[in-house]
Structure formats: C-alpha cells, structure tokens
Homo-oligomer: A and B are copies of this chain.
Amino acid sequence: MDFEFVKPLLKEDQKSKIVLLVMDGLGGLPMEPGGKTELESARKPNMDALAEKSMLGLHHSVPFGITPGSGQAHLGLFGYNPTKFEIGRGVLSALGVDFDLGPNDVAARGNFATVDSEGFITDRRAGRIPTEEGERLCNLIKEKVQLPGVELFLVPEKEYRFVLVLRAEGLSGDLSDTDPQAVGKRAHLANATSPAGEHTAELVREFVKQANEVLKNEHPANSFVLRGFAAMPRWPNFKEAWGLDAVAIAMYPMYRGVSKVVGMTVLPPAESMEHEISMLEEQWHQHDFFFVHIKKTDSYGEDGNFDGKVHIIEEVDALLPRILALDPDVLIVTGDHSTPAKMKSHSAHPVPTMIYAKLARPDGIKEFGERACIAGSLGPRFDAVDLMPFALSLANRLEKFGA
C-alpha cells in the first residue's frame, strides 16, 4: 500500500485508538514431530478469548520465503515496505546502541581487526576481543583523532564491534565499505558512490589514516574495517503517512530506534513488561497509536529456550486485560518475525497475527496459534504492510475510495 493512496482518504479529528502489540520473534516450531509450537503450548486464556472476537492470519513482513531482520520486520508492521524503505546498516547499528542519530549524522558499523605488517587482514574480528577492550579502543580513537569541523562518536557494541558516527553539515552516506569481507586482503579506501559522497569520503579516509596510526601498536586489534555507511533516512513520518500521533514503548534500543526513524514519539526505556503496560496506561490520552514491544519472546527463542518463550507469552497474556481495559478501538497482537527455539534464530515462517476491533468481523477461531491462524480471514500468508490501512479503516479513520 502506497502512502500517496491513503493520504487523501485520511479523516481528521478522529479520536479512535490503535494498539500494536508486538511479541518479538513470536512465531515458532514444534521441538518434536507432532508437537506444538511455543505459542500453541502457552496457557493464554485471554489471547484465546480475544482470538474468538478477532480476525486471524499469518503475515510476512519481507517477501515471502525470506527471513527478516528486526528493523526491517518492524518497518513492515508500521506499513513501510522494507524493500522500498531501505535503512542502512550503519543507521540500524546506531539505533541498536541507542545513539540519538540526527539529521547531520552519517553512521557506519565498525569491526576491530588484525592486520599483518603489510596491512593484510589476518582476522576480521581481532580475536573477538572482550567488550571492555573494544570500549578502551573506541575511547582512545575518540581522544586522539581530530577531523576539522566534524564531531566524532565511537560507540562500542559487543566485543570487536563498534559504531562510528560523523556529525557535520553536508555529509552523505553515499560511500563504499572499507571492509573487504575477507581475510588476506587489505582494507579498501572509502570511495564516494555518488558525487554527494565525495566530501564525506575524504573525511573518512582521513579518519581511517589517523585511527590506524592510533591503533598500530595495539594487539590484536591493530586496525579496523567499516561498512554500511548511511545517513538517517528522510521518509514520510507516521503522522503524515497514517494521520496518527504515535508513541513507542519498548525496552531495547533497536525498537525505539526504528520507531524514531518513522517519527514516533519514543518513551524512555521501560524496565519491565509490567512497566511497559503502565506507560501505555499513562500515555493513553496523549496519542492515537501505541506500539508496545515485547523483547523477551525473541531472546528466549534465540537461546533455544522453548519453555522460557512459552512463559513470556503467558506473562503477556496475563497483562492483556489491562490493555483491553483501556478499550482500544483496534488491537493488533502479532510478532515481527518467527524465532523458533528449535532453530535459535530468526526464520522465514509466517507470523501469527490477530486484529481485534470493535468493528472486526470475527472469525470465531477459539485459539491464537500458528495453525489456528491458517484458517483465519487475513489468510495464511498476508503482507504485513496490509495491516496499517485495514487497522485505520477498522478505527474509522479512512474515507472510502471513490463515490
């Protein structure tokens, strides 16, 4: 769905409220043949009761068959087709470390690396140095390197990874990687991929030169590579796109970050799931759209902890009555992608979804689960970007198309 198509249909001054509750990595798999998935295993009387009044289905947020990353999957749920609204690796990394990326910033993902005396890379991860060592090296570079007119940020991620941000007027993300993505090669020079990138490429080459000088006597991290240069994208914000004043409630940086990219108001990190629901209650009269993100379903999936994931779903179920007590006009309950504990990773399996709405045409399916959703009216594999326009219609926020 195209924003330009929806825009002329937006009604003004509507008071209806939409909640998007995302349990990250919700979709799962049975551990054993004939078994149940995490969601099917969970005791979740509130979700099951809501399912009976809702429209069900399974979504994919990137083209069917492809496994989505978290940022891209959320863009899909927000109605921003992630194959059209591309978000650079550097930006995602900056969002992931809660860096407050601004309009004059260009970000890249960095790896500390080991090079031999000729400059050939012998280890793209510098022996997976500890996180504290990465922090020390980031601080060292920040202290020693000077680029006139440019404010520099080096934010450590985990182990050998860091985020580099250059801040100055007139920068561009149109730059090639220095990372050759292989050992036995020298790091590339950063080159402009469009005329707009020329000046930034010069600055980055100077940064690389100075920073390598700083690192040259370190061991094993005596160099580094950079990739995914990108500036904050300039997209229609959520209010322009969907006519909704939106707020994001999330515990993890990545999800607050991607909400910021689409122009949502982003609340400070919540401390627990209960706290997230309390924030929702507090904010209820201030906004139209509420994105509530539950991280731990995905974390347990990634850990291969089936029971842990089941338990989180049960905890969310116990919180559901508090959301319903707010009397939302539309409540979408879904995940951003599947993270089956069996696979310990994101997967391409479609994601169970239900839309409850006062104006829903209920499917009457008495269970919220992967296989129960197959029979739902949203279909067994619908495009996640179809959710927002339908939610707007169910919230009585769209005029009809044509007369």
**Nearest chain B CB to A16's CB is how many angstroms away?**
14
- A381 is contacted by which of B5, B347, B378, B400 (Cβ under 8 Å)? B378
| Given A30-B362, A389-B63, residue A400 in contact with residue B343 (CB < 8 A) | no
**Nearest chain B CB to A57's CB is how many angstroms away?**
8
- Residues of B contacting A394 with CB < 8 Å? 348
- Residues of B contacting A364 with CB < 8 Å? 371
A275 within 8 A of B: no
Whether the Cβ atoms of A371 and B363 lie closer than 8 Å is: yes
A64 within 8 A of B: yes
Whether the Cβ atoms of B66 and A389 lie closer than 8 Å is: yes
A309 within 8 A of B: no
Most chain B beta carbons < 10 A, residue from A9, A29, A65: A65
Whether the Cβ atoms of A67 and B398 lie closer than 8 Å is: yes
**Nearest chain B CB to A372's CB is how many angstroms away?**
11
- Residues of B contacting A387 with CB < 8 Å? 65
Whether the Cβ atoms of A65 and B402 lie closer than 8 Å is: no
Closest to A228 in B: B403
Whether the Cβ atoms of B72 and A359 lie closer than 8 Å is: no
- A82 is contacted by which of B63, B69, B348, B401 (Cβ under 8 Å)? B401
As for how many copies of this chain the complex holds, the number is 2
- A374 is contacted by which of B342, B377, B388 (Cβ under 8 Å)? B377
Closest to A254 in B: B403
- Residues of B contacting A389 with CB < 8 Å? 63-66, 348
**Nearest chain B CB to A340's CB is how many angstroms away?**
8
- A403 is contacted by which of B92, B371, B377 (Cβ under 8 Å)? B92
Number of interface residues of A (CB under 8 A): 71
- Residues of B contacting A375 with CB < 8 Å? 374-375
CA distance A376 to B30 in the complex (A): 17
Closest to A92 in B: B403
Whether the Cβ atoms of A72 and B30 lie closer than 8 Å is: no
Over the window 334-375 of chain A, the binary record of Cβ atoms lying under 8 Å from chain B Cβ atoms (1 yes, 0 no) is: 000000101101111110000000010111100000110011
- Residues of B contacting A89 with CB < 8 Å? 403
CA distance A72 to B318 in the complex (A): 44
Over the window 63-94 of chain A, the binary record of Cβ atoms lying under 8 Å from chain B Cβ atoms (1 yes, 0 no) is: 11111111111000000001100010100110
Over the window 47-71 of chain A, the binary record of Cβ atoms lying under 8 Å from chain B Cβ atoms (1 yes, 0 no) is: 0000001000110001111111111
Within 8 A of B (CB), among A191-246: none
Which chain A residues have a beta carbon within 8 Å of chain B's beta carbons? 1, 5-6, 9, 27, 29-30, 33, 37, 53, 57-58, 62-73, 82-83, 87, 89, 92-93, 96, 340, 342-343, 345-350, 359, 361-364, 370-371, 374-382, 386-394, 398-403
* 7 A–B contacts from the bound complex (CB under 8 Å): A65-B389, A65-B390, A65-B391, A66-B389, A70-B402, A374-B376, A378-B381
Q: A67-B393, A349-B361 given. 11 additional CB < 8 A pairs? A: A1-B63, A5-B63, A5-B66, A9-B66, A30-B362, A66-B401, A69-B403, A71-B402, A82-B402, A89-B403, A343-B359
